[in-house]
A and B are shown apart, each in its own frame.
Chain A
């Protein structure tokens, strides 16, 4: 919302400086966004007098002038036809920046004649469109060196501020003035407009057929008006805030819309036939003032007469019934339109208008008569004529709201100590009334403050005007006693997984939660329910089923920039459906292994590097990696032969890892091979808290461990893990570790078989083992492994 300082001063009696006013606005909740002060942009310019103008010796269209300026008499070459001796002009010195031509003036020679400065046109100074000649100041009452901004009437700063949706009353300058008076910046002037008595009965009948959309409609006729350009002050006022003056009648409605947040409309009586109705649309076509045609549907409020739709109520008037210079009798509309219906009409038609902006936020329902009277009075003053009586149909939703208000609420919610006297003064200055005796006050809310519904709203008003800068500052401390864990197990897992993998060389990335739907399909997602109905682009139109998608694409982008050896990870959500429980937290990683040549040699990572990364991350996040089963059954986006899943029991899937399916990479347009993994953080079982943090006694034997090697010939398809697990399970007390150190197939091993060699570490616990005991243990191991795997000990 823009308004000018002089406009504010029509309502606020103040001598506060511009800086003080803008600061007070911001601190009262009217957040100032910008201040345009033309006096600042025009500071370099000043009033001067042209003493002499003679034809340029070398150019027909130019004149050489002698100009009396603040810098002394200067020679200026000028091309304006109206440059002549004796006129008062606006002078720009050498060094001045001329905004209209985006140029800083330099000493110049124009066709061999020196020119020191410039006499400006309105367009050059950006004070108007006129470029036919230089500005001539009217009259003789000027001083050399006088302030150009003042001379041009351009010394009115314009303030732009953010109107929060709860304060439609700030969409009128008078509402702003009321708040500024409350914070002590001056006094609110009395309303200059009072009631107007009609000289004859209103000849236009007003009917309401759609009371939900238009509960009240007031109007009156002024006959015998003379329309035409509005007076200078009004035009200037409108121009200052970026509105285009049209004609006195129209300008009056625009002025009052900004002056008191009271939209109005004027109709040319000569164009009306029959009564004016506020009714629902019937599918008619309507030509609006924005020069577009709209379909008036049955959800829109149509202002119409017997012949046609004249306007969309609360949104925009029509071209047909608009006032022109020929208008002699005018019908003025001052109505109340329902916010929701106005808003819906605005959304369907796409119309943004000052009226719609105000009606959808809610205008003062009690402003029908006062608004119409103000408009009438202005019409009479500016256009003459004779006013009819006022006709009002329906009744606006004026509310009477009483709030029981214990003044202790102020202290309770804000910590501020505001005395009852101050509280009463603040409320009164904002237009609140009521009974302010005793401890529980009965406060009545003014008609323009529909946003104030309860005690907390009153507290805000009091604190806001009293000053948020006076709020006490009290530190929050944690409660005494033991600190409870502030992070959930899942959050701690995420933190550890992220940091352990970063330690192993992964770059922690954050990528979009949405992806292209066609990509989502490749990763088992893309359901209709997870697609966005208003995506920002087709590349981001669906919630992602996997964090791998963007990491894989990022790997390619990085490779295209020359970074082709890299490990990326992300901890973030994936979405299986749209419910709160369907969002899962994953840790995903992608590795493109392309190490640069190195004098020690280099090795490309493979799935077993990734497996190690996954196990390290899982371990850091609290999973017992030794208990996990590896299986080759993985999702379809992995290489079917080079990927694995880690499970705890048959159902609980903790992670998948391996090479990304080359077909998927091809569809994404990404070069392979790429390794990757996904870990489901929420699938990791919570560690069982066993009373306290004690780690239990350490199991340490002083007896020397011994190692025995075995090799078994087993089926090629046997998972090595089965064999290792069988060996380890033989004697959990004595066998400390089993490590697999050789895999062999080929000569000496039957086709379809492979040889797996393990080293079993035996840790005696109580006494050194005898040879016989060791022999027995080895036999047990062989028997157990052979039985479990169907293999045989290799000779």
Chain B
């Protein structure tokens, strides 16, 4: 068997030194091809006695297997080496700048409106809407602003040109007309179905308008209205609801203070202040010795309930209104209201939000 061993050694050496796949194939054909040296030995088996074949057969088969394995291993190694060599030639300067892809942003007003909707949504409020162009009834009269009353002077109202009948539409001066539209619709539903008035819990964010323009006023701004009507909601709920809102919105404890005030459409009426402190020229919302007026609110006035056909002795509830732009300025440190509506790309990129930061309570409101 020395010859066989020698043959194996020779072939193994040839496999190991084959420098590429072609050379390796030559070695394989030379050894295991039809006329290969090992194949010829296999062919010799037929001339052997059964006893000889009993020994030589398995030995040759084992040899064939070893050679095949060896060739396969060498083949894999050569392929890997060839790939590595090719990849070496495929280098790029990976520090070159990427293809540019523009990043858009969400306007602070849009973002804060979403935040507000999430917080009140968690308290069971749905989102209602109404038109910007209102009639006198919805903007004033139904809200208990008597005609020719000084309270109307406080709303620097925009009027549209006179209609044929001499009346004038107004740009809503607050989001409160949505209260009226919501209650009227609820009363209509109740009378159609014959059921009791269903409880109302809505917020109404939107555009509002006042004929005023200076450093802190723009002729258009944003408010969010809130309205709760049922048979038991009182001022304690109002206080709890809005205090919870402030803490959730500002994402920290916020001290609040309610002061009596006057609004024609609420009675009792209140203004809410939030605590703050001034530190190094910055305003820190939450705690502190100073109070900042943040919103107006109160129990819906019996005259308002009556004007929409709701019995004020049976139903009751609260309403509030606050400025969205102001909330955005306070929370996100935006200095000038007038910039909100200028569509300046630099401002929108700086103060805007990633579209993927979708306000929700699970991830944290603004994280």
Distance in angstroms between the alpha carbons of A3 and B271 in the assembled complex: 23
Query: Is B234 a contact of A568 with CB atoms below 8 Å?
Result: no
Query: Is A476 a contact of B124 with CB atoms below 8 Å?
Result: yes
Distance in angstroms between the alpha carbons of A568 and B132 in the assembled complex: 23
Q: Chain A nearest CB: distance from B304 CB in Å? A: 10
Query: Is A507 a contact of B127 with CB atoms below 8 Å?
Result: no
Known: A360-B150, A415-B237, A498-B106. A507 touches B349 (CB 8 A): yes
Taking CB atoms and an 8 Å cut-off, the chain A residues in 456-499 that contact chain B are 456-457, 459-460, 463-464, 468-469, 471-479, 484-488, 491, 495, 498-499
User: Residue B159 at the A interface, CB < 8 A?
Assistant: yes
Query: Is A503 a contact of B104 with CB atoms below 8 Å?
Result: yes
Known: A498-B110, A509-B348. A533 touches B129 (CB 8 A): no
The 5 closest A-B pairs by CB, nearest first: A505-B102, A415-B236, A29-B260, A478-B124, A164-B262
User: Residue A664 at the B interface, CB < 8 A?
Assistant: no
Query: Which residue on A lies nearest to B154, using beta carbons?
Result: A165
Chain A residue contacts of B235, Cβ below 8 A:
413-416, 463, 471
Query: Which residue on B lies nearest to A598, using beta carbons?
Result: B100
Given contacts A416-B236, A464-B260, 16 further A-B contacts (CB under 8 A): A412-B316, A416-B235, A456-B268, A471-B258, A474-B237, A475-B240, A476-B124, A476-B201, A486-B117, A486-B125, A505-B104, A510-B343, A554-B344, A557-B343, A571-B110, A598-B97
Query: Which residue on B lies nearest to A361, using beta carbons?
Result: B150
Residue among A499, A505, A563 with max Cβ neighbours from chain B (10 Å): A499
Distance in angstroms between the alpha carbons of A329 and B133 in the assembled complex: 58
Query: Is B110 a contact of A27 with CB atoms below 8 Å?
Result: no
Chain B residue contacts of A534, Cβ below 8 A:
158-159, 211
Residue among A165, A488, A501 with max Cβ neighbours from chain B (10 Å): A165
Query: Is A164 a contact of B261 with CB atoms below 8 Å?
Result: yes
Query: Is B267 a contact of A513 with CB atoms below 8 Å?
Result: no
Q: Chain A nearest CB: distance from B228 CB in Å? A: 7
Q: Is the interface of A mostly helix, strand, loop or mixed?
A: mixed
Distance in angstroms between the alpha carbons of A315 and B244 in the assembled complex: 48
User: Residue A81 at the B interface, CB < 8 A?
Assistant: no
Distance in angstroms between the alpha carbons of A566 and B348 in the assembled complex: 11
Known: A473-B243, A502-B104. A554 touches B268 (CB 8 A): no
Q: Which residues of B contact A (CB under 8 A)?
A: 96-97, 99-107, 109-110, 114, 117, 121-127, 129-133, 148-151, 154, 158-163, 168-169, 171, 201, 207, 209, 211-213, 219-220, 228, 234-237, 239-241, 243-244, 257-262, 267-271, 299, 301-302, 312, 316, 340-346, 348-349, 352, 354-356, 358
User: Residue A536 at the B interface, CB < 8 A?
Assistant: yes
Known: A415-B236, A474-B240, A505-B104. A468 touches B260 (CB 8 A): yes
Chain A residue contacts of B161, Cβ below 8 A:
528-529, 531-533
Query: Is B207 a contact of A501 with CB atoms below 8 Å?
Result: no
Distance in angstroms between the alpha carbons of A340 and B97 in the assembled complex: 72
Distance in angstroms between the alpha carbons of A513 and B99 in the assembled complex: 37
Chain B residue contacts of A491, Cβ below 8 A:
117, 127, 129
Chain B residue contacts of A473, Cβ below 8 A:
236, 239-240, 243
Query: Which residue on A lies nearest to B109, using beta carbons?
Result: A510
Known: A508-B110, A543-B133, A583-B131. A475 touches B160 (CB 8 A): no
Distance in angstroms between the alpha carbons of A27 and B302 in the assembled complex: 24
Chain A residue contacts of B345, Cβ below 8 A:
507, 558, 563, 566, 568
User: Residue A500 at the B interface, CB < 8 A?
Assistant: yes
Instruction: Name 29 interchain pairs, CB-CB below 8 A, sorted by A.
Output: A29-B262, A164-B262, A454-B302, A471-B235, A472-B236, A473-B236, A473-B240, A475-B244, A476-B244, A485-B126, A486-B121, A499-B106, A503-B356, A505-B101, A507-B105, A508-B348, A510-B343, A512-B220, A513-B132, A513-B209, A532-B161, A533-B160, A540-B219, A551-B343, A554-B343, A558-B345, A571-B110, A575-B132, A580-B133
User: Residue A28 at the B interface, CB < 8 A?
Assistant: yes
Query: Is B131 a contact of A28 with CB atoms below 8 Å?
Result: no
